[in-house]
Amino acid sequence: MSELAGKRALVTGASRGIGAAIAVALAEKGADVAITYERSADKAAEVVRAIEAKGRRGFAIQADSADAAAVKRSVQDAADKLGGLDILVNNAGIARGGPVAEMSLADIDAILDVNVRSVVLASQAAIPLLPQGGRIISIGSCLAERVASPGITVYSMSKSALLSFTRGLAREVGSRGITVNLVHPGPTDTDMNPAQGEQADSQRAQSALGHYGQPEDIAAAVAFLASPAARQITGTGLLVDGGVNA
C-alpha cells in the first residue's frame, strides 16, 4: 500500500465528505497531504489527525475557494509545508439550485468562482511546482454530461466546464508527463447530499445499482489516478456514479 510513497498532495475543500476521504486515502497509499478548508477548523484538524494516523504528515490551510488570492496562496503554502508538490486534487465545490430565471447573481458568481475559477487558479499555481509525472485531478459530477432534472442548470454547467479544461490542460502539460483527469461522482452520501435527504429516493431510482455511493468510492478512484498505474490516463473523466449515466 505504498504506491504514493514520498509523494506530496494538496486536496482542496477537504475538511469533510469526499475531500476528507480523498486526503485519508492518499495518506494510506503513502503520500503526505495538505488540505484546505474554509470555516471548519475543527473538522480539518480531525482530517489531519487521520492522515497522521496513517503515518504520514498532514497540514490544514485555511483558504476560501471563492477568494482568488487565497486559492493561489494555499497552493504555495502547501508546497512550502510539504517540501514540494506532486499531486493537486481540486475537490472544493458548492451546489446551489433553482431555475435559471430565478437565480441571484450572488449564487451564480459563487458557483462559478468555486467550481470553475478556483480549479483554474489552483492548477495554474501548481503547474510550475509539479515535477515530471505530476498529477492534477479534479472532482466533477455525473451531471456534467447529463442534466437529469430542472433546477441544476448552472451547477451542471460549472461541472461541464471542467471537461474542456481537463482536456486542454492535459495537452498543455503532457510533455512533462503530468496527467490531468476528472472523477465524476454520482449520488454520494455526504452532508451536501445525504442518503436520507429529500431527493435521495429519486437519485437512487436513477442509479443502475440502486444505492448511494460512499466518499471512499470516490477516494479510491482518485488514489488510482494519482498512482503510477494511471500514467497513461489523461484528459478524461472517470464516472463513479453507480450507473446513473449508463
pLDDT at 39 over 90: yes
The H or E element spanning position 89 is strand 87-90
What's residue 222's pLDDT? 98
Catalytic residues: 155
pLDDT at 192 over 90: no
What's residue 140's pLDDT? 98
Confidence class of residue 199 from pLDDT cuts 50, 70 and 90? confident
pLDDT at 213 over 90: no
Percent with pLDDT over 70 in the chain: 100
Mean pLDDT score of the chain: 96
What's residue 16's pLDDT? 96
pLDDT at 89 over 90: yes
Q: For residue 198, give the DSSP letter.
A: T
What's residue 190's pLDDT? 87
Query: Which residue bears the cell 503532457?
Result: 174
Give me 169's grid cell.
490542460
What is the C-alpha to C-alpha distance for residues 23 and 21, in angstroms, rounded to an integer?
5
Q: Are strands 87-90 and 135-139 parallel, antiparallel or unpaired?
A: parallel
Of 191, 91, 75, which Cα lies nearest the Cα of 139? Answer: 91
pLDDT at 143 over 80: yes
What's residue 52's pLDDT? 98
What's residue 67's pLDDT? 98
